[in-house]
Amino acid sequence: MKNWKTYFILCLFFAAGCLSGRQAGKNTVQPQQAVQENTPQAAQPEQTGKKTSLFKVDEKDYPEFKDLDTKKSLLKALALNEKYLGNAKKETVYDFNGRKVTIKELATTNAALKKIISENDDPAETDRLVRENFDVYQMSGLNNDRTVTFTSYYEPTTEASLEKDNVYKYPMYARPYDLVTVPLENFNSKFKGETINGRVEGKNLVPYYSRDEIDFQGRFKGRGLEIAWFKNLPDLMDLHIQGSGRLALPDGREVKALFAGTNGLKFKGWLSAMIEQGLISREGITHEAGKAYLEKHPDKVRQVMSANARYTFFKIQGITDPDEGPIGTYGYPLTGWRSVAADISLYPLGAAAFLKAPMPDVDDNGNYKGQKNDARFVFIQDTGGAIKGTNRIDFFAGNGKKSRTFAFKVMNKGQLYIFLLKEKNSSNAI
């Protein structure tokens, strides 16, 4: 740990001296859950020299590759993935259990899968072609148990106003000019994908203002950073946790609130804070029950909300395509029920994968009906602050009533398989 402390101090010194003004944060949606584990490394860029923790699956142990969702959403996600891979940095090399994998191989894999899906409506034929043409690698999970913990996030729609009035009183803020983001990999490649946020005070980089300082101590008063207003703090907090969403305005229009960065401080869910503070019991806890408690006990709002020091900033954008999701880390819109967030210091953006896990059964009106087995093709297109290690995947559920109920019900165990076109086929897609 001594080397890390030395490196961290040096990083802060250089950041304070070299960085100033406004820097863009990751354009991504943050997950609602905060589950972190100390896990082994996997699928690292070749230059790190770390051993992979992906397992190559023997063909006789392949799962059935039968997709249980719509072909339309799958083709949409494949097309967006194709755009990303066509523009990604070509020099990056990953180690998949001893096989050196380039962006080109990820692109040919995507093209081959797109061809199979486009030309086949028979699930059995699709399964046969996938088995015949792809090598399959499985995420190792914690302690190499090959089990992945799935959580979910969604694009919420929340009532808000672009003007303050007696109903809409709680502000949503734009990214402040003095928020500095430091990519640690610029100082050492072993910290690929890691960043720290703060502000420059004198010649030092210090932690940015906390939620309590911003919302309750008036740190942003008079700075003109307000870009929308909400009815209550729990609704605003939900948007902060999700990282982006849609705002339903009083005149009937909708706009998008897009992620523009965070203060980088520690996250804690507000419902978890209420349980820890003894305000509500863990048994039977729901989002609605927590919100109702705070409405009846406004004197408890500050202590509950301030328990989550992390603060999210936004920018407003109009909606041109109602079905288009928020922009993911890969730089293009996320596709509901197809995009997933992973630890991209371990797994490459643009990787095509297959998910198998029990998932919530929710109807279009948002009614929860229980659990059912799910299986589908998905794509690593996003990241999340709590999504770290070889056993964590966050599943993007889109927007609407169904998506909201689904996302709040997911904390499930399952498997994730990553595809690569077999080396004999990699010179040209099938």
- Is residue 153 within 8 A of residue 396, CB to CB? The reply is yes
CA dihedral of 256, 334, 178, 266, whole degrees rounded to 10? 110
Q: For residue 92, tell me if it sits in a domain.
A: yes
- Among residues 42, 118, 65, 84, the alpha carbon closest in space to that of 429 is found at 118
Counts for the chain of helices (H) and strands (E), in that order: 10, 19
Kindly state whether residue 299 falls inside one of the protein's structural domains.
no
Domain assignment present for residue 7? The answer is no
- CB-CB contact of 65 with 113 (8 Å): no
Q: What is the CATH number of the domain that holds 334?
A: 2.40.240.50
Consecutive H or E run containing 274: helix 270-276
C-alpha separations of 258 from 295, 328, 374 in Å? 27, 10, 29
pLDDT at 20: 32
Contacts of 246 (CB under 8 A, 6+ apart): 155, 156, 157, 158, 254, 255, 256, 257, 319, 399
**Structure-block tokens of residue 42:** 């996997």
Q: Judge whether 368 lies within some domain.
A: yes
What burial letters (b/e) apply to 195-204, b meaning 16+ CB within 10 Å?
A: bbbbbbeeee
For position 288, what pLDDT does the model report? Answer: 85
- Buried-state track 22-37, b at ≥16 Cβ within 10 A, e below 16: ebebbbbbbbbbbeee
Q: For position 427, what pLDDT does the model report?
A: 55
Nearest to 183 by CA among 309, 392, 345: 345
Tell me if 14 is assigned to some domain: no
In a domain, 9, yes or no: no
Q: Which range of residues forms the domain containing residue 219? A: 23-269+308-425
Question: How far apart (Å, rounded) are the C-alpha atoms in residues 86 and 350?
Answer: 10
Does residue 296 fall inside a structural domain? no
> Does 326 reside within a domain?
yes
Cα distances from 38 to residues 41, 202, 274, 302, 389, in angstroms, run: 10, 35, 26, 32, 7
Residues of the chain with pLDDT under 50: 1-52
Pairing assessment for the beta strands 245-248 and 254-262 based on DSSP bridges: antiparallel
The pLDDT score that the predictor gives to residue 428 is: 54
pLDDT digits (tens, 9 = 90+) for 85-124: 999 887 788 889 889 999 999 999 999 999 999 999 999 9
Return the SS3 of 245.
strand
Record the pTM: 0.72
Give the chain's radius of gyration (CA, Å).
Answer: 22
pLDDT value for 17: 37
Residue 422: helix, strand or coil by DSSP?
Answer: coil
Give the chain's domain count.
1
